Amino acid sequence: MKNIPLKKLYPYIGAFLLFVVIAYVYFPPLFEGKIVHQSDISSWRGAANEAIEFREKTGQEPLWTNSMFGGMPTTMISTIYKGNYLQQLYNNLFWGPRPASYLILAFVSFYLLMLSLGVRSWVAIAGALAFGFCSYNFQIMQVGHNAKMVAIAFMPMVLASVIFAFSRNRWLGAVFLGISLAFEIMANHPQITFYLAMVILFYGGAQLYLAIKNKTLPSFIKTGVLLLVAAGLAAGANVNHLWPTWEYTKYTMRGGSELTLNQQNQTENGLDKEYATAWSYGIEETFNLLIPNFNGGASAGELGKNSETYKFLKQAGAQQADQIIKQLPLYWGPQSFTAGPMYMGAVAIFLFVLGLVLIKGPMKWWIASLSLLVLLLGWGRHFMVLSNLFYDYVPLYNKFRVPSMILVVLQLTIPLLGFYTVWKIVKGDVEREIVLKGLKISLLIVGGICALFVLLPGLAGSFSATADSNYPDWLQQCLPQDRKALLRSDALRSLVFVVLTAGCIWGIVRGKLKMERLLIVLCVLLALDMWTVDKRYLNNGHFVTQREFNNQFQARPVDKIILEDESLDYRVLDLSVNTFNDSHSSYFHKTIGGYSAAKLQRYQDLIDYFIAPKIDAVIQEAKQGATYSSLTQSLSTDPILNMLNTKYIIVDANSNPIENRSAYGNAWFVKDYELVNTADEEIIKLAQIEPSEMAVIAKEFAPIVQDRGINFDDSATIQLISYAPNKLEYRTRAKDEQLAVFSEIYYPKGWHVYVDGQEVEHFRTDYVLRAMFVPAGEHVITFEFRPDSYFVGSKISAASSGLLLFALFGFIMIYIIRYYRKDTIAGA
């Protein structure tokens, strides 16, 4: 048998090696062993520490942690899911350390997408660079949104599989879809996967139109059904984490609140609209796609020494002028704050508009209509006519927040159409005169916008932000001038790239530039365009050594004092940080705060109605000169903090904590209970009772309570004797049956309770806690967290992933056999 012709693989091997080189050249600190100091990863590490340490110590998955918000599943924090046989293959797709490996994956993925459209390798490389170097990718890698970045990187690969199935081989395309979609889901960012589904839906609509037009509907249906089966297997391979996530979501902020006290902005079984649309892209910010500093860039940015701010500082004799200009509030758009603009690249935008002018048929229209839709949805609260329709009627849409995130779809559609257009021009599929006319129109539109803001930057607005009023007068005067200068500079910058790109296309059409040189020049223009902007948001200065990263988890003086307490379980309230947006304290303690965008909704209600107002009141007392003892008294007498067993309150990281001796402990017996009908009544009644004596129980648990009376035994005892995040043991002693309340967060999916090894029922009380009736005598009560979704889900994942691997192996074998037979016949 002859050797496989490796020459055919050279362009693809060369493309891959080029991507690797580019990624590592962009991130030279990786060669020194440094890592990006990602704030969200730091936050995640604090939240996940208890689970990680338990896993390392026991080899088991805890599935529950008490490190944040009184307790919650580790579903969205840190869980190693078992059963998916594709996991090892997935892990091997990341070549080297992050974030270089993420960038390589993004390049390769889009490269495959271009190849699926029949685009030649060099054009595909240029398109891949445009996709991978979108500025948003670098902003999210800098802060640590790793799951989001990986999910974005897999998007083109999944679409490529669908295109391959419709255009070439439906069976092989379906197998690739099953594998690539499984990887996409494994990245574990449902919001990005939802946006990907929108992309595929629009592409499928275009294929349906063609099938009807060309009378090939049966073929379309066969391919569609096969792809649906593959998608089902991809989802099945991920049931091990999809099921727990879906199960958990219903009880989180994504599932909506049961309270009707404030439903003005509440979606049905989803997020509050005000919360969900908090990060909406401003209509005027749309120009950021073309001009990166149109609204000032990031919330905290750097100015040059020619800026008005720097000149003022030097004239005023400020010795720290060079440092001050590195962190200034340059963003003046409508969002609360931002890591930077969704800059798509002047080169890519120009080619996209050129494609809208030149390309005919469904290829253009599905991309154009999808791009317009996501742009309007990205405006969120600024275009609520459309947003309301989606929040109210589109399944799952109301589970997601940050409307601006949907603009990641443009990262795919803009270079897709743009470089598909380049390929069509290079091939000669578009007549020369039509291309030249299209160039003029596109240059007039895109270049005209840039030129307009170069000449008349004041058209952008006032260059002032609402927060400017908090700054000194001199800064309020300097900032608008510097912001205007930033806009004008970037508008000119983009204009230059637009004109140069147009010149390249003109050159190839006029025969002044050969195809190979055109593509090299385009790649250089892309690199110059995107690289320099991306360095504003992720550069060498964002890298630290592993030791420097770990130092942020060094115990503070107050942490060391608290850790001397050898009690099995208690909670901490840390007022020295942003209590509900910081999880560093969770690295050492079980806290009632933390950070999670998917915390349990009932706990969020508790924060909104009780804990946050209490914290605000204490802060106001402190500002008014309240004494330490009065603050201690105010905090220690709060019934909600006490029922959450808040034993320590941190006010200052370098001082002794407040020890709350009034905390109720791990569990207690109550004298009586009251049944209420609704969640509203539950939370209102909770404000009226003393939780150490009375329990509030929802009517839904009436069958368990069964109108039982309580013969309260004031000599009864209940004590926590063993602690693990997923298993708690208590010893009880009582003369009569008692109603016990446990300072543990109630979650209905997975917790089992046993009395001396016999399973019994427990129920929710006091809006968020657990309760049960404890029989008379001495007993051992065990709470254990074993959700079926995790254990049964792993078996389903094993079966589904096994089928996908079998199909992949089968196609590889078929290819080898066919190639061998073909070679044998040729040799004969």
pLDDT given for residue 826 in this prediction: 47
- Pairing mode, strands 727-734 and 777-785: antiparallel
Nearest of 674, 689, 677 to residue 771 by alpha carbon: 674
At 801 the three-state DSSP class reads: helix
pLDDT given for residue 420 in this prediction: 96
Q: How far apart are CA 341 and CA 298, in angstroms?
A: 7
Model pLDDT for residues 310-348, shown as the tens digit of each residue? 888 888 887 788 888 888 999 998 988 888 999 999 999
Over range 393-408, report the average pLDDT. 89
Place of tokens 């205007």: 484
Residue 470 has pLDDT above 90, yes or no: no
Is the separation of the CB atoms in 277 and 381 below 8 Å? Answer: yes
Residue 5 has pLDDT above 70, yes or no: no
Angle between helices 135-143 and 100-116 (to 10 degrees): 150
Q: How far apart are CA 667 and CA 728, in angstroms?
A: 11
Model pLDDT for residues 172-222, shown as the tens digit of each residue? 999 999 999 999 999 989 999 999 999 999 999 999 999 999 999 999 999
Q: How far apart are CA 538 and CA 137, in angstroms?
A: 10
Respond yes or no on whether the N-terminal peptide bond of residue 99 is cis (omega within 30° of 0).
yes
β-sheet bridge partners, residue 261: none
| Two structure tokens written together for 691 | 């939780």
Longest dimension (CA), the chain: 98
pLDDT given for residue 256 in this prediction: 79
pLDDT given for residue 1 in this prediction: 42
At 600 the three-state DSSP class reads: strand
At 754 the three-state DSSP class reads: strand
Residue 156 has pLDDT above 90, yes or no: yes
Model pLDDT for residues 346-395, shown as the tens digit of each residue? 999 999 999 999 999 999 999 999 999 999 999 999 999 998 999 889 98
Model pLDDT for residues 606-622, shown as the tens digit of each residue? 999 999 998 888 878 77
Place of tokens 């059904």: 225
pLDDT given for residue 3 in this prediction: 54
Give the residue, 640 or 514, on which the prediction is more confident: 640
Model pLDDT for residues 748-770, shown as the tens digit of each residue? 999 999 999 999 999 999 999 99
Place of tokens 């990005």: 192
Give the residue, 55 or 43, on which the prediction is more confident: 55
Residue 492 has pLDDT above 60, yes or no: yes
Query: How buried is 442 (Cβ within 10 angstroms: 0-12 exposed, 13-18 middle, 19+ buried)?
Result: buried
Q: How far apart are CA 178 and CA 478, in angstroms?
A: 55
At 233 the three-state DSSP class reads: helix
Q: How far apart are CA 722 and CA 657, in angstroms?
A: 26
Residue 143 has pLDDT above 80, yes or no: yes
pLDDT given for residue 529 in this prediction: 94
At 574 the three-state DSSP class reads: strand
Model pLDDT for residues 565-606, shown as the tens digit of each residue? 989 899 999 998 999 988 889 999 999 999 987 899 999 999
pLDDT given for residue 290 in this prediction: 96
Angle between helices 100-116 and 408-427 (to 10 degrees): 50
H-state helical runs in 270-345: 273-276, 308-315, 321-324
At 667 the three-state DSSP class reads: strand
Is the separation of the CB atoms in 497 and 346 below 8 Å? Answer: yes
How would residue 260 be classed by pLDDT, with cut points 50, 70 and 90?
confident
| Two structure tokens written together for 119 | 């685009």
Model pLDDT for residues 78-124, shown as the tens digit of each residue? 889 999 999 888 888 887 888 999 999 999 999 999 999 999 988 99
At 564 the three-state DSSP class reads: coil
Q: How far apart are CA 765 and CA 746, in angstroms?
A: 8
Over range 258-286, report the average pLDDT. 76
pLDDT given for residue 267 in this prediction: 54
